[in-house]
Amino acid sequence: MSGGVDSSVVAARVAAAGLRAVGITLAMWSGDRELVRDRGCCSIDAIDDARRVATHLGIPHYAWNLEREFEANVIDDFLAEHRLGRTPNPCVRCNPRIKFGVLLERARAIGATHLATGHYALIGHRGTLLTLHRAVDASRDQAYVLHRLSQDQLGAAVFPLGAAVSKQAVRAEAAALGLSTAGKPESQDLCFVKSTVAEELRRRLPEAVTPGVVVDTAGRTIGTHQGLPLLTVGQRTGFSVRAGRPDARPLYVLELRVADNAVMVGPREALERHRISAADCSWVAGRPPAAGTRCGAQLRSHGTAHRVRVRHAAGASVELRFTGGVGQVSPGQSVVLYRHDEVLGGGIIRRTA
């Protein structure tokens, strides 16, 4: 129970089904930081909101502090990727390592068999295998950030909201049940970010957030930037270039070069990529798709799925070729493969061409 409306409705449904339910809120904040309202799943206010809902439903509620585990399994990875000039997605790591990792282990230790969450996704079956699918409401779908769940984790997962037709319907259900979180605003920020991602990176990576040069595709120095971790491929702000350039077209970040702390920029068409290689792959069925497989590839949590062909896949690596050119492919982000609405798995983008 994150303290939001989605997990509140899930708790209500579980309780209404007559199942033995226990509400758990994860506390993953740093004890010395200032806490403000509506910061998401890591604030004291979120715990209070979740506890009020649990009391209303008549179920026990506990707050488990996983600050140390979250730091080691999610934040450290987030910072390491930024040091390497990559753009990671912390939620992709948090779900298998924390929510369906540490939390599931502890839940099982107190006798729980399943973990019901407010994620918008669906679970299916193919023979003895469990399958993961997009939610009915495409605008809310979160299958992308769940693609690393193992068969064991999927077997313990329950996603009641995967079949919800809209967020509005979920809020209406919460209101009808008298849940105090029915009108609570959504948190859009990363749960461990106090103000902005840029300020968080400056605080945590002062040695990496240092000024450097901006170069064009010919290698000429044309400006400056304030720190590689503050930028990502496809960005067109956050750096400055000298006035009076012969070519006045807008410039976009093409590459973050950690070796010399430089940012390469170029026109929009220079962003186009046709091939990507991904590593650290995880496959829902336990094996990669065969070479030649045609499927959809999503590059961001709520991005469009692009048509690709699997050029090569073996174990934890995959090489993909897009049917057409694709822009803003950022190393460090996850590429997730789909067959229609079914998630095949995915990995971390390492190289593009």
State the Cα–Cα distance between residues 83 and 205, nearest whole angstrom: 8
At residue 127, φ and ψ (nearest 5 deg) are: 65, -125
- Rounded to 5, what percent of the chain is helix, strand, coil? 30, 30, 40
Q: Which residues contact 148 (CB under 8 A, 6 or more apart)?
A: 92, 93, 95, 96, 282, 345, 346
281 noted as active-site residue: no
- How long, in residues, is the chain? 353
Of the residues 41, 42, 91, 94, only one is catalytic, namely 94
Contacts of 247 (CB under 8 A, 6+ apart): 267
Angle between helices 5-16 and 167-176 in degrees, nearest 10: 60
Burial of 204 (0-12, 13-18, 19+ CB in 10 A): middle
Our measurement of the distance from residue 38's CA atom to the centroid of its chain's CA atoms, rounded to an integer in Å, reads 19
Q: Give me the catalytic one of 41, 42, 191, 281.
A: 191
Distance of alpha carbon 84 from alpha carbon 201, whole angstroms? 13
Q: Quick check: is 91 catalytic?
A: no
Q: Report the C-alpha gap between 224 and 136 in whole angstroms.
A: 45
Q: What beta strand segments (E) does the chain contain? A: 23-27, 61-65, 115-116, 121-126, 129-134, 157-158, 212-215, 221-225, 239-241, 252-257, 262-266, 273-283, 294-298, 305-314, 317-326, 334-339, 342-352
State whether residue 49 is helix, strand or coil: helix
Active site residues: 94, 191
